[in-house]
Amino acid sequence: MWYVNDNENSIMKNATLHQLRVFVVAAKHLSFTKAAEELFLTQPTVSMQMKQLTKAVGLPLFEQIGKRLYLTQAGQTLYDSCQRIFNELGEFESAIADMKGLKQGQLNLSAVSTTKFFLPRMIGPFCQQYPGVELSLRFTNHEGILQYLNENQDDLYILSQLPSTVDVVSHRILENPLVAIAPAHHPLAKERNIPFERLSKEPFIMREPGSGTRQALEELFHKHETYPQVRLELGSNEAIKQAILGGLGISVLSQHTLTLEKDTGLFAILDVEDLPLQRNWYAIYPSGKQPSVVARAFLEYLEADPQLLKEAEELTIDG
Ligand code: PGA
């Protein structure tokens, strides 16, 4: 028998799903300003929603100590419940979408930042084929993706380094070669078979901690028993490319980052021993998860279309 709690004092009688969504984002960032940015709302709207939710719950959800915002115990409990509620709702939505076939549905993808250079383009034909599918694609670094994966936030995750702590089902999409990049006029650009250790003598521009590229490079330098001379640490491939052009140093990045510079002659790919480092891009999901019809169609699309793969491979540049 169904039972609806219509007790006047029930929290859910007064709180709305929208308020809970706003709360989850505010709790994730521990900032109303950042929540407002992510949700395209104004900061006073977020504050108002949180005020009403706090009233519905009857206990403070956040506390401010100095300049920082923290979750109270009630806030943390609500956050944990919301994670479960939204996961359930996500599963419900995919079940309904499955019942309706591929005419409509939601596909939530998260991908490591380096895939920005090819993934949105690769997705284009899929969206044209299934215009009713709503797609959300967000980018963060490798560590961020692992967090989304642990929290079961998305349908599929696209990365290069397979996680070691979570069992996943993985589908290989493409190669991801890491290459040494310098400005075109760099003295090493003319040399051949440069010993790997030579890279340690150059000022090096490194991705931020948490980046998959950085992790792969640390392992590579470790294997060669040498260290890069890190002159600058930057949180984006685009910024690193600018810094290389600014003469601040060289770097090792995915060859996909040079997709649009293929014919510009701005950069040189150095001929270094042990490079390119051959890695792969994978689409993954946790082993226990049942991918929705839309997610399965997307995986098939990525795997099945040789033309698509050919085009994506061509987007990379020849050494
Ligand atoms: P990153 O990951 O964008 O976090 O560096 C890319 C990779 O693992 O190759």
Residues 165 and 50 in one domain: no
* Residue where one domain finishes, among candidates 50, 69, 101: 101
Residues 141 and 284 in one domain: yes
Question: Is residue 210 pLDDT above 60, yes or no?
Answer: yes
Distance 115 CA to ligand 1 centre (A): 8
Asked whether residue 150 is assigned to any structural domain, the reply reads yes
Residues 168 and 292 in one domain: yes
Range of the domain at 263: 178-269
SS3 label, residue 297: helix
Residues 96 and 112 in one domain: no
Q: How much is the pLDDT for 263?
A: 81
Q: 46: burial class by Cβ within 10 Å (0-12, 13-18, 19+)?
A: buried
Residues 184 and 131 in one domain: no
CATH label of the domain that carries residue 210: 3.40.190.10
- Binding site membership of 115 for ligand 1 (Cβ less than 6 Å): no
Residues 7 and 94 in one domain: yes
Asked whether residue 305 is assigned to any structural domain, the reply reads yes
Please tell me the residue having the least CA distance from ligand 1 atom 8.
212
Asked whether residue 274 is assigned to any structural domain, the reply reads no
Chain segment 14-27, per-residue pLDDT in tens = 889 999 999 999 99
Please tell me the residue having the least CA distance from ligand 1 atom 9.
213
Which of 175, 199, 197 has its CA nearest to residue 270? Answer: 199
- Binding site membership of 211 for ligand 1 (Cβ less than 6 Å): yes
Which ligand 1 atom sits nearest the alpha carbon of residue 113? 3
Residues 166 and 304 in one domain: yes
Residues 93 and 119 in one domain: no
Question: Is residue 316 pLDDT above 70, yes or no?
Answer: no
* Residue where one domain finishes, among candidates 101, 118, 152: 101
- Binding site membership of 249 for ligand 1 (Cβ less than 6 Å): no
Which ligand 1 atom sits nearest the alpha carbon of residue 216? 8
Distance 279 CA to ligand 1 centre (A): 11
Question: Is residue 212 pLDDT above 50, yes or no?
Answer: yes
Residues 245 and 291 in one domain: no
Q: How much is the pLDDT for 14?
A: 80
Asked whether residue 113 is assigned to any structural domain, the reply reads yes
Tokens representing 148? Answer: 């989304």
Q: Which amino acid is at 310?
A: K
Q: Are 194 and 272 in contact (CB under 8 A)?
A: yes
Residues 16 and 82 in one domain: yes
Q: Provide the sign of the torsion angle of the four alpha carbons 179, 185, 186, 188, taken in this order.
A: positive
Asked whether residue 286 is assigned to any structural domain, the reply reads yes
Which ligand 1 atom sits nearest the alpha carbon of residue 114? 3
Output the DSSP codes for 188-208.
GGG-SSB-GGGGGGSEEEEEP
Mean pLDDT of the chain: 90
Question: Is residue 199 pLDDT above 70, yes or no?
Answer: yes
CATH label of the domain that carries residue 86: 1.10.10.10
Residues 65 and 17 in one domain: yes
Residues 48 and 69 in one domain: yes
- C-alpha distances out from residue 177 to 112, 280, 298, Å: 15, 7, 24
Asked whether residue 77 is assigned to any structural domain, the reply reads yes
SS3 label, residue 227: coil
Asked whether residue 68 is assigned to any structural domain, the reply reads yes
Chain segment 229-257, per-residue pLDDT in tens = 999 999 999 999 999 999 999 999 999 99
Q: Provide the sign of the torsion angle of the four alpha carbons 180, 138, 165, 29, taken in this order.
A: positive
In terms of DSSP bridges, do strands 105-112 and 156-159 run parallel, antiparallel, or are they unpaired? parallel
Domain count, the chain: 3
Q: How much is the pLDDT for 7?
A: 58
Order the strands of the 267-269 sheet from edge to edge. Answer: 251-254, 178-183, 267-269
- Binding site membership of 110 for ligand 1 (Cβ less than 6 Å): no
Question: Is residue 115 pLDDT above 80, yes or no?
Answer: yes
* Residue where one domain finishes, among candidates 52, 80, 101: 101
Q: Are 270 and 180 in contact (CB under 8 A)?
A: yes
Which ligand 1 atom sits nearest the alpha carbon of residue 212? 8
Cis, bond preceding 177 (omega within 30 deg of 0) = no
pLDDT tier, 225 (very low <50, low <70, confident <90, very high otherwise): very high
Which ligand 1 atom sits nearest the alpha carbon of residue 178? 9
Which of 134, 27, 154, 166 has its CA nearest to residue 87? Answer: 154
Tokens representing 55? Answer: 């009233």
Determine what percent of the chain is predicted with pLDDT higher than 90.
75
- Binding site membership of 251 for ligand 1 (Cβ less than 6 Å): no
Asked whether residue 186 is assigned to any structural domain, the reply reads yes
| Alpha-carbon radius of gyration of the chain | 23
Distance 113 CA to ligand 1 centre (A): 6
Run of H or E residues at 280: strand 280-286
Which ligand 1 atom sits nearest the alpha carbon of residue 161? 8
- Find the range with the poorest average confidence among 97-106, 226-235, 273-282, 309-318: 309-318
Q: What angle do CA 214, 277, 273 make, to 5 degrees?
A: 110
